[in-house]
Structure 1
Amino acid sequence: MRREATVTFDPSLRKPARWRTAAWLLVATCAGLPVVAGAQASEAQMSAFQKYTTCPSTGRRSGACPGYRIAWKVPPCAGGQDRWTNLVWLTEVAARQKMQSDAAACAASAPRP
């Protein structure tokens, strides 16, 4: 007797980091925002952040966190470090607003040619 494998789609699973980064770059480019090198925390630091802090919506330390994103407290272009202690949970709306203010701050601190 032959068994057939079934594949189910779980929408609660997060997209891979490369897709999140690509989406951010596309939005930033289309909106005319400067693209900042290293705008995403490293996967190791994001994993450490999730290990030590709980998701505000689920209370878990692993898996998806619906409605929230991990963002920099201080972006690297403004002197922040790529460390899990420099990350914070923000709502989707607050994360978008912070991304715009961080992009403006990084553009202002960038050396002019």
Structure 2
Amino acid sequence: MSKAAAWWAVVAAFVLALSSPMVADARTVRSSSAKAEFKRQHPCQRTGQPRGACPGYIIDHVIPLCAGGPDTPANMQWQTAQDAKAKDREERRQCLK
């Protein structure tokens, strides 16, 4: 396959992906700027820092993206890693219906 044909195949796959109905899941690309803004507004509960890792915590979407929740700081919360695993299991069941 030529470079031009390979490039057009990538473009076609991208256009197809954009036109297909999407269900957000763990592989969905999230806004890094929204996450950074959330951290500025709500520093880590463990370290008190608005940047960097927050050991034992993750940033969770209150209304899951797969249920139409926005990827904005207003829809984010700190959640313990343990609580996040339980919530993620339930969200996967609900979003796959």
TM-score of the two chains, using structure 2 as the length reference: 0.67
Paired position in structure 2 for 1:102: 91
3-state DSSP class of the match of 1:102?
helix
2:59 is the counterpart of 1:70 = yes
Deviation at 1:94, TM superposition (A): 0.6
**Correspondences of 1:1-113 after superposition (within 5 Å):** 36=25, 39=28, 41-108=30-97
Instruction: State, as a whole percentage, how many aligned pairs show the same letter.
Output: 34
The one-letter code sitting in structure 2 at the alignment partner of 1:45 is A
RMSD between superposed Cα atoms in Å: 1.9
Answer whether contact 1:38 1:76 (CA < 8 A) is retained: no
Write 1 or 2 for the structure with the bigger share of helix. Answer: 2
CA distance in 2, matches of 1:91, 1:47: 18
Counterparts in 2 of 1:41 and 1:98: CA distance versus 1, 3 Å: farther
Q: Which runs of 5+ in 1 are unaligned?
A: 1-34, 109-113
